[in-house]
């Protein structure tokens, strides 16, 4: 069985680092992992999408549309942009911290993060037949307060690690907190390690 996690946000939010941490955590948990980034990694503020596939016998690093078990989004509009990747039984974990896209900065469009979240809520309020058969319902959409996370961890630059803590605490991912912490210690430079561990634990606390 393969678990598919799509991570999305904008350049500068640490999407690629988050995907590397998730991959290392899954490997620490005894899984095979394949993954790829598909858009925007070279430009700050552009859309970034990272595919993480966890399991055994994975042939392709890219998640087909309609097959993501979870979408982890650090920005509401980016969650909407990729919502068609979600499987009929998948869930979305999204940070409410809206970042003005480049088109909005130039004055071409107005951006309403609350409207993006309302769309996701409406989209998931009509459960598929597959979702209705799940023994454990609910939590199809989890919106996390960016302001709340920043208050807990004290730094907006580690919201990626904090959101990972929330996902792990809610058991949305197939690896443990210990696996995730091992990956954080492996991949985060020493001067930022304590901050990221604090952010991870803050995300866990917020999920309780």
| Cut 0.95: pTM above it | no
pLDDT digits (tens, 9 = 90+) for 33-60: 999 987 655 566 688 999 999 998 899 9
Looking only at the bridges linking them, the beta strands covering 32-39 and 3-10 are: unpaired
Domains of the chain with CATH codes:
3-128+137-207 (3.40.920.10)
pLDDT of 103 reads: 47
pLDDT of 181 reads: 98
28: Cβ contacts below 8 Å, ≥ 6 apart: 175, 179, 182, 183
Q: Distance (Å, rounded) from C-alpha 157 to C-alpha 162?
A: 10
- Looking at every residue in the chain, the average pLDDT score rounds to 90
pLDDT digits (tens, 9 = 90+) for 153-202: 889 999 999 999 999 999 999 999 999 999 999 999 999 999 999 999 99
Residue 81 scores a pLDDT above 60: yes
pLDDT digits (tens, 9 = 90+) for 102-113: 545 445 567 889
Mean pLDDT of 55-68: 94
pLDDT of 102 reads: 58
pLDDT of 15 reads: 94
Q: Distance (Å, rounded) from C-alpha 134 to C-alpha 89?
A: 8
pLDDT of 139 reads: 78
For 169, the token pair is 């605490």
pLDDT of 82 reads: 96
């Amino acid at each position: 069985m393969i678990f598919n996690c799509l991570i999305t946000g904008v350049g500068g939010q640490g999407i690629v680092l988050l995907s590397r941490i998730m991959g290392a955590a899954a490997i620490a948990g005894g899984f095979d992992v394949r993954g790829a980034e598909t858009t925007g990694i070279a430009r700050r503020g552009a859309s970034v999408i990272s595919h993480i596939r966890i399991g055994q016998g994975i042939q392709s690093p890219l998640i087909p549309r309609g097959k993501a078990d979870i979408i982890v989004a650090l920005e509401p509009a980016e969650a909407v942009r990729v919502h068609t990747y979600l499987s009929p039984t998948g869930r979305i974990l999204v940070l409410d911290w809206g970042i003005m896209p480049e088109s909005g900065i130039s004055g071409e469009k107005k951006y309403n993060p609350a409207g993006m979240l309302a769309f996701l809520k409406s989209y998931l309020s009509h459960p598929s037949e597959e979702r209705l058969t799940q023994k454990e319902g609910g939590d199809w959409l989890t919106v996390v307060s960016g302001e709340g996370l920043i208050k807990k961890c004290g730094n907006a630059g580690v919201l990626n690690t904090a959101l990972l803590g929330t996902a792990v605490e809610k058991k949305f991912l197939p690896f443990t907190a210990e696996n995730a912490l091992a990956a954080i210690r492996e991949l985060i430079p020493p001067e930022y390690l304590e901050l990221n561990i604090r952010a991870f634990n803050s995300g866990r606390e917020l999920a309780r």
